[in-house]
Structure 1
Amino acid sequence: MKARLLTLLSAAAILAPLSAASADDIITGDTVGPADAPNKMTFRMTTDGPRNNDPALAAKYSKLFNDFIANHKGWQIELQMMSGDIGQEQARMLEQAKSGNAPDCAAVDSFVLPLFKKAGVLKSFSPYFKKDDIDQLFPFIRDGITGTDGQIYAWWWSTDLRVLYRNKEIIKDAPQTWDETKKAALASVEQGMEGILFNGSRYEGTTFDWLANFWGQGGKLVDEAGKPIFGEGDNRAKFVKAVNYYRDLVESGAAPKRVATIGNYDDFNAAAAAGTSALFVGGNWQLSQLKGALEPEEFAKWTYSPLPGPTAGERSTGTGGWTVASFAKSEDKVGMCAALAREVYMGPANEIQEQLPTRADFYTKYAIFSSDANKGFGEALKVGQARPGALVYPEISNQIQIMMGKVLTGTEATEAAVDDAFKASMEAFKRLQ
């Protein structure tokens, strides 16, 4: 408790100078708005807010939240911070929602949104968003937030994708295929680097970053009924091929064995800053992080390209992102949560963090998304694929993570590990029926 108090006091000390002088416009480490506000809403959030680890982003978010409260007099928002274990946090929140103890408003990861919709714990946002707002959403985004009754149950405000980052000084040309990627990584090893880095531990990013290698071949995880099919027929052959691609990178020395323990994109930024790696699979948001972390002359050496496939014509990339949703018991809090999604996150938050918008019109509305870099990300999104909206997906992902650990450490043959993952996924699917 003492450690938590010190953390909150430290955060308050950092954020307090960002507050306006008005008594109605107050932000501390864990609240936004006056203490005597008659209306209060809890908001469980990620670091996409005033507690962002980057002081500059924290300051920008603080202004957004202060401006929001200034436009909604009589309200105070209590900020509840999630831990870095997003999967565990989302599972806990779902159980809280089922028992009626969830926060009024929360960040829900897009890949688990189907579970929350299926449980019937989300409140409709349809009354709070115009048809034009909804129509501008990319189709996969719109489908993801819509329930079987046609109502929308969250606002998916940001999306992302995975790309291949490289140091141009070490790797001049962008690898177009898996073979070229392996050769480039081995060439970097010869120059003292540790080879290509990617997530490989028990982490959702491990599954999602790797899936592009399966999807690029036309592979399908589930059928239209949400039943796992990745371990059958042609899908199994494509799946095994994609797993062996990663296995070969490690066994050949093109990737270090430590990838089996990596479960954090920050590790790649650190390796780039330390000069220990010239190649890694990362998210589009890392470009701005690298710009902030590296000296200008070092950042100029880095660029990105679409993820390679088995051939140059077989490519895909994962598209994820965050939503804002409400569990509130009162309609005024549901409306306040929707307003937070609409006024803070839909557009302004995209801009300050350079997180790709989910609305097509924002790519011309905001100048920052018209940059060459973001135009490139937009092009890569054309072969993007979201995780399937199937109830069994979280367990499929969990089994892929377990499988990857076996394969990357060499403790089990690829085909056996794949079959184990498929069997466990099928058992989970049957339990969900």
Structure 2
Amino acid sequence: MLKLFAGALAAGVALLAPLVASADDLVTNNRIGLSNAPNKLVFRMTTDGPANNMPETAEGYKKLFEDFIKKHPDWQIETQLMTGDIGQEQARMLEQAKSGSAPDCAAVDSFVLPLFKKAGVLKSFSPYFKKEEVEQLFPFIREGVTGSDGQIYAWWWSTDLRVLYRNKDIVPDAPQTWDDLKKAGLASVKKGMEGILFNGSRYEGTTFDWVANFWAQGGDLVDKDGKPVFGEGDNKAKFVKAVNFYRDLVESGAAPKRVATIGNYDDFNAAAAAGTTALFVGGNWQLGQLKSTLDASEFAKWTFSPLPGPTQGERSTGTGGWTVASFSSDAKKVAFCADIAREVYMGPANEVQGQLPTRADLYGKYKVFSSPENKAFGEALQKGRARPGAPVYPEISNQIQIMMGKVLTGAEATDKAVDEAFAASMAAYQRLK
């Protein structure tokens, strides 16, 4: 009898184990869920998760994933963390997907989503999202995730935009034009700062932060067929003008030469914390990071405003964001990946990280998005523009990054660097046709 009782007790404890597991057991550095769960999914993620470099955000994600996996106790998620070299990471994952060795579920950057769709490696999410949910997506988001067959091939859960951050003690008034920004940068240098900071190295952020200066003039990177057009006719004149704007910032001293080596938004937060800059081009999400990084009295000095344009009436900003997509041939894993997108990222993660939702109805659901700051971001989105959904865009971006390095270091004349970037982009377009 005692043996039977002991056996029954052990079995009961085993059955209860998943229910009493601690958060540390459920969310580890490389696993979410119990190690003995019968179903396993590999999820390659960015730092939009428990590995976020902001402790408060990391804890928020840990709680989200803990709550999620408790609802799915028969699953474990093996997590793989991408490096900060997003372009290289996404290119590697695309090749893995083509060879059948990609993760089951992954974060796919919106700017390369067209390449993944064209390659036919993504699994349809259409069965897992209601028509009403899809209809609530902003038009450019809905277009981005939809294939030529009308199926939904990823869930684009967050969007963002670029703004100009400034220390009000050093730069009291928001620069409205390129000229204003140059003057503000030079004035900040006279006050002991290093001038305006922006991404300028081999990094997708370099292209995306800068291209708003081209778009503000009405320029187009590609035509309606996805063919590069930025290096010809009126587009070229606007493109060269926008490149020379950045070049002049460096050559005049309004921006430091080191911008040619910057390829990480964290550098701007660090410079703000160190008190070495009063101006930088950054993403809307950095407001929350500054708040977490700086003392309250220092944070109170910082604000943001729309990116300046060539004139006050010519403005634009880039709108990007991340998606969740599945490469698995196992229908159960595709469905579970969709569950992650819906239950963790679509709304809850937006709130935790302050990432702007892609569904209009979510702005009224979460209090954080009704703040004056987020309302201002929402208004700035009205001038926003997404990267073109053309397969050649990643190569255009790559060539712009190379071009920017030549220009910002003074290694090459602007016109020559632009011509080379355009020729390389056209060659890529011909290969992709």
Q: Calculate the TM-score normalised by the size of structure 1.
A: 0.94
The residue that corresponds to 1:338 in the other structure is 338
- Aligned pair in 2 of structure 1 residues 218, 71: CA closer, same or farther (>3 Å)? same
The residue that corresponds to 2:163 in the other structure is 163
Matched, 1:79 2:73: no
What secondary structure sits across from 2:364 in the alignment? helix
* 1:208-242 per-position Cα deviation (integer Å, ceiling 9, x unaligned): 00000000000000001100000011100000000
CA distance in structure 1 between the partners assigned to 2:59 and 2:409 by the alignment:
42
Residue 20 of structure 1, CA deviation: 7.8
CA distance in structure 1 between the partners assigned to 2:371 and 2:291 by the alignment:
15
Contact 1:396 1:421 in 2 (8 A): yes
What secondary structure sits across from 2:180 in the alignment? helix
The residue that corresponds to 1:133 in the other structure is 133
Residue 73 of structure 1, CA deviation: 2.6
Contact 1:201 1:401 in 2 (8 A): yes
* 1:344-383 per-position Cα deviation (integer Å, ceiling 9, x unaligned): 0000000000000001111111100000000000000001
Unaligned runs of 5+ in 1: 1-18
Matched, 1:379 2:379: yes
Of stretches 137-146 and 62-71 in structure 1, the one that deviates more from structure 2 is 62-71
What secondary structure sits across from 2:335 in the alignment? helix
Matched, 1:43 2:51: no
What secondary structure sits across from 1:209 in the alignment? helix
Please tell me the residue identity of whatever aligns with 1:22.
A
Of stretches 407-416 and 299-308 in structure 1, the one that deviates more from structure 2 is 407-416
* 1:319-345 per-position Cα deviation (integer Å, ceiling 9, x unaligned): 000000001111010000000000000
Identical pairs, percent? 77
Please tell me the residue identity of whatever aligns with 2:115.
L
CA distance in structure 1 between the partners assigned to 2:54 and 2:188 by the alignment:
31
Residue 69 of structure 1, CA deviation: 1.1
- Aligned pair in 2 of structure 1 residues 312, 20: CA closer, same or farther (>3 Å)? farther
The residue that corresponds to 1:410 in the other structure is 410
Please tell me the residue identity of whatever aligns with 1:237.
A
Contact 2:54 2:289 in 1 (8 A): no
Moved over 3 A (4+): none
User: Aligned ranges for residues 33-432 of structure 1 at < 5 Å?
Assistant: 33-432=33-432
Residue 67 of structure 1, CA deviation: 1.0
What secondary structure sits across from 2:107 in the alignment? strand
CA distance in structure 2 between the partners assigned to 1:326 and 1:383 by the alignment:
31
Please tell me the residue identity of whatever aligns with 2:222.
V
Q: How many equivalent residue pairs?
A: 415
Please tell me the residue identity of whatever aligns with 1:255.
A
Please tell me the residue identity of whatever aligns with 1:85.
D
Of stretches 159-168 and 23-32 in structure 1, the one that deviates more from structure 2 is 23-32
Unaligned runs of 5+ in 2: 1-17
Contact 2:317 2:384 in 1 (8 A): yes
The residue that corresponds to 2:21 in the other structure is 22
What secondary structure sits across from 1:304 in the alignment? strand
Residue 51 of structure 1, CA deviation: 1.5
Contact 1:23 1:34 in 2 (8 A): no
Q: Calculate the TM-score normalised by the size of structure 2.
A: 0.94
CA distance in structure 2 between the partners assigned to 1:288 and 1:184 by the alignment:
24
CA distance in structure 2 between the partners assigned to 1:237 and 1:344 by the alignment:
45
CA distance in structure 1 between the partners assigned to 2:270 and 2:432 by the alignment:
41
CA distance in structure 2 between the partners assigned to 1:392 and 1:412 by the alignment:
24
CA distance in structure 2 between the partners assigned to 1:364 and 1:35 by the alignment:
38
CA distance in structure 2 between the partners assigned to 1:230 and 1:354 by the alignment:
34
CA distance in structure 2 between the partners assigned to 1:377 and 1:306 by the alignment:
9
What secondary structure sits across from 1:196 in the alignment? coil
Contact 1:39 1:75 in 2 (8 A): yes
Contact 1:20 1:26 in 2 (8 A): no
Please tell me the residue identity of whatever aligns with 1:350.
N
What secondary structure sits across from 2:100 in the alignment? coil
What secondary structure sits across from 2:217 in the alignment? coil
CA distance in structure 1 between the partners assigned to 2:425 and 2:222 by the alignment:
10
Please tell me the residue identity of whatever aligns with 1:225.
D
* 1:102-126 per-position Cα deviation (integer Å, ceiling 9, x unaligned): 1110000000000100000000000
The residue that corresponds to 1:9 in the other structure is none
Residue 152 of structure 1, CA deviation: 0.3
Residue 70 of structure 1, CA deviation: 1.1
Contact 2:207 2:401 in 1 (8 A): yes
Please tell me the residue identity of whatever aligns with 1:195.
G
What secondary structure sits across from 1:102 in the alignment? coil
CA distance in structure 1 between the partners assigned to 2:197 and 2:236 by the alignment:
25
The residue that corresponds to 1:3 in the other structure is none
The residue that corresponds to 1:16 in the other structure is none
Rg bigger for which structure? 2
Residue 23 of structure 1, CA deviation: 7.2
Contact 2:260 2:409 in 1 (8 A): yes
CA distance in structure 2 between the partners assigned to 1:56 and 1:174 by the alignment:
30
Residue 58 of structure 1, CA deviation: 1.6
What secondary structure sits across from 1:361 in the alignment? helix
CA distance in structure 2 between the partners assigned to 1:394 and 1:20 by the alignment:
45
What secondary structure sits across from 1:150 in the alignment? coil
Contact 2:201 2:262 in 1 (8 A): yes
Please tell me the residue identity of whatever aligns with 1:162.
R
CA distance in structure 1 between the partners assigned to 2:332 and 2:99 by the alignment:
21
What secondary structure sits across from 2:382 in the alignment? helix
Please tell me the residue identity of whatever aligns with 1:203.
Y
Residue 21 of structure 1, CA deviation: 3.4
* 1:259-297 per-position Cα deviation (integer Å, ceiling 9, x unaligned): 111111111111111111101100001000000111000
